[in-house]
Chains A and B, each alone.
Chain A
């Protein structure tokens, strides 16, 4: 079956770095997405990886290893506004998105 695993909750300190991991199993693969969702709001797009390696976008970076079925989202210089849930989603060979349950990130001052 198809499956996405990511930690339920993580805690980090303002100004620090945090890495949120995601492992996936899909029938075929057409890319890995990360979305951010603040409490009570809609998910918003953060990143898309389809090739192995690291994609950097400001304070946020996303990494993909297709051979390992693994991705991570790296957040640097954490700010209080980064407190949110981070959703990992993999696209299968039929272009269907398989979503993880999300990782709730708590930032402490």
Chain B
């Protein structure tokens, strides 16, 4: 089934630890995104990639890094996790980031708890 796979589904980790959330898509979409979703807030963009080899900062990039070595994979790394990074993280993709009808396909999400 075509779509986006995220891993892990959920994770509890200690503050200060390094963590990588994995995201893989098989739709050959050019653009990929990482969002975090917190109760009472809208989806907030962390980082994005318009095409393989390029990345950009979103609304809340501090404490996170990404890479886009190929079309399919877009991992998100927390170098040193802090409790405020406790959230649900969604990876998403779209055919093009420069189109009005830019429909996003989302992964199932990764629930991260930092203690």
Which one of B44, B98, B103, B108 lies within 8 Å of A48 (CB-CB)? B103
Segment at the A interface, from B16-24, B35-43, B61-69: B35-43
Is there an interface contact between B42 and A87, defined as CB atoms closer than 8 Å? yes
Query: Across the interface, do B100 and A30 meet the contact criterion of CB distance under 8 Å?
Result: yes
List B residues 45-59 near A (Cβ within 8 Å): 45
Known contacts A30-B100, A31-B100, A95-B100; is A42 also within 8 Å of B107 by CB?
A: yes
Q: Contact size class for B? A: 20 to 34
A51 to chain B, nearest CB (A): 11
Total interface residues in chain A, CB < 8 Å: 24
Known: A41-B108, A42-B108, A43-B90. A91 touches B42 (CB 8 A): no
Closest to A47 in B: B103
A44 within 8 A of B: yes
* Smallest CB gap from A31: residue in B: B100
